[in-house]
Amino acid sequence: MAAVTARNAEQSAGSWRRVAVAMFAVGWGANQFSPLLIEYRHDLSLSAGTLAGIFGIYAAALIPGLLIGGPVSDRIGRRPVVLPFVVLSPLATLMLMLGPRSLPVIAAARALAGLCSGVVFGSATAWVQELSDDPAASARRSAVALSAGFACGPAIAAVLAQWAPDPLVLPYLPHLVIGLVAVLLLWPTPETVQRGAGPGEAPAVRRRWPPQAVRSARFWLAVAPAAPWVFGAASLAFVVLPQEVTSAGSESVGYAGLITTITVASGIAVQPLARRLEARHRLAGEIAGLACAAVGAGVAIAVIGARSQAGAAGAAVALGLAYGLCLVSGLRECERLAARGQHGAVVACFYALTYLGFGAPYLVDGLNGLLGRSGTFTALAIVAAVSAAWTALYTARPGSRVPAQAVSIPSSR
């Protein structure tokens, strides 16, 4: 009996990889669209406002998915929430392939992709943590899986769009295959959430919204200020910088894909360091990430003035480091703050704040008219630096270092 129990525990601990593959696949499907915006604009003669609307539809569907999916998975389980939307993710891609020049179809497909991303990212992050044999590494595992999907999707899509025929159809084909593989791998993954309240846990605690951790001062004063910089830094790198350093005639899908890959790859590469920083001091990764965001915005000032494509790649590295550090640090802090039975909901709230960062390109566009390009990035650098200083001061305050909660791995049933 002991041998059987040990074997089951080992299988459960290894199952986090199956969930990570699902996150990778959904992340691929979410971001493969980004470098193709240039192709859509040219092929369909779309205005900048229409492109912004298509881009915004994704985020508009994603945030409700996060806020609903996380709490629901805390109550009924991770598997019944995550699995259906991992199935729907490649179907959203199939819609893009079947209606490549139909704006209603494209908009519906992006909305479905956003909903899938919202439901899966929050719930699957909690699932990975609960299945991990090393809880301290779970935040990095989730972040790496998600970031790898974000990097590979646009990189492959950009290459196919640049050099393969039918650039509005063939770039989506790899995600159909990867999405199917993810579904097959995820299918046997064990559940980690018990229906109803756990031992000694009142149902009211689990069902109250927003979660207790999200209502805490520490969440809003130490975690929330950096959360929008996760995707804010990333979107500045792969949406704003390519447009600023290339002319309309020379801007290519390939260059946009390259900058996206550099940004996210930098975010992945720094995540082991983020974990080590968090092991030494809570939110140290966040402070370092905000400092990198300030550096990246500062470098962007010179890059934009010189219209240097090589310099933009360097700024993308700094902004990618900010993305990776802030993501891992924020997820790790959510794990520490979340009460049992509320992990999915807390992570979902954090992700919802991070996705506000995708509004950064629109913010930059608005501020450019008031401050100019250099003034806008100077303001962003100052905000990031002040945020880093604030977080450092807050975590240094007496009584602000809340002891980390012991993280338990629920047995699968």
- List the pLDDT tens digit at each of the 413 positions of the chain: 333 334 444 445 578 899 999 999 999 998 888 778 778 877 888 776 677 677 778 888 888 888 888 888 888 899 999 999 999 999 999 999 999 889 999 999 999 999 999 999 889 988 998 888 776 677 778 888 888 898 889 889 888 888 888 889 999 999 999 999 999 999 999 988 876 544 344 444 445 667 888 888 889 998 999 999 998 999 898 888 887 887 654 456 677 778 888 998 898 899 889 888 888 888 999 999 999 999 999 999 999 888 888 899 999 999 999 999 999 899 889 888 888 778 778 888 898 899 888 878 878 878 888 888 889 999 999 999 999 999 999 888 765 554 444 333 333 33
- The whole-angstrom distance between residue 307's C-alpha and the CA centroid of its chain comes to 29
Structural domain including 178 reads 13-186+210-396
**Total domains present in the chain:** 1
Is residue 352 in some structural domain? yes
Q: How far is CA 373 from CA 38, 241, 251, 360, 363, in A?
A: 22, 11, 19, 14, 12
Question: Is the omega angle on the peptide bond into residue 272 within 30 degrees of 0, that is, cis?
Answer: no
Specify the 3-state DSSP secondary structure of 270: coil
Q: Say how far apart CA 56 and CA 50 lie, in whole Å.
A: 10
Q: Is the pTM of this model over 0.85?
A: no
Instruction: Give rounded-to-5 percent helix, strand, coil for the chain.
Output: 80, 0, 20
Contact yes or no for 262/278 (Cβ under 8 A): no
Specify the 3-state DSSP secondary structure of 246: coil
pLDDT at site 68: 87
Length of the chain: 413
Torsion-angle region of 406 (φ positive above 0: left; ψ -120 to 50: alpha; else: beta):
beta
pLDDT at site 256: 75
Among residues 322, 297, 310, 33, the alpha carbon closest in space to that of 150 is found at 33
**What b/e readout covers 34-47, taking b as 16+ CB neighbours within 10 angstroms?**
bbbbbbbbeeeebe
pLDDT at site 413: 31
Is residue 8 in some structural domain? no
Is residue 195 in some structural domain? no
Among residues 223, 275, 273, 217, the alpha carbon closest in space to that of 387 is found at 223
Q: Say how far apart CA 326 and CA 317 lie, in whole Å.
A: 14
Q: Say how far apart CA 246 and CA 67 lie, in whole Å.
A: 38
Is residue 284 in some structural domain? yes
Among residues 314, 326, 258, the alpha carbon closest in space to that of 287 is found at 326
Is residue 4 in some structural domain? no
Q: What is the DSSP letter of 166?
A: S
Q: Say how far apart CA 345 and CA 118 lie, in whole Å.
A: 12
As to burial, measured by CB atoms within 10 angstroms (0-12 exposed, 13-18 middle, 19+ buried), residue 3 is exposed
Q: What is the DSSP letter of 406?
A: P
Is residue 236 in some structural domain? yes
Q: Say how far apart CA 54 and CA 104 lie, in whole Å.
A: 10
- What is the CATH number for 346? 1.20.1250.20
pLDDT at site 196: 54
Q: What is the DSSP letter of 199?
A: T
Q: What is the DSSP letter of 399?
A: T
Is residue 403 in some structural domain? no
Q: Say how far apart CA 187 and CA 178 lie, in whole Å.
A: 14
Contacts of 14 (CB under 8 A, 6+ apart): 133
Q: Say how far apart CA 330 and CA 231 lie, in whole Å.
A: 12
Is residue 303 in some structural domain? yes
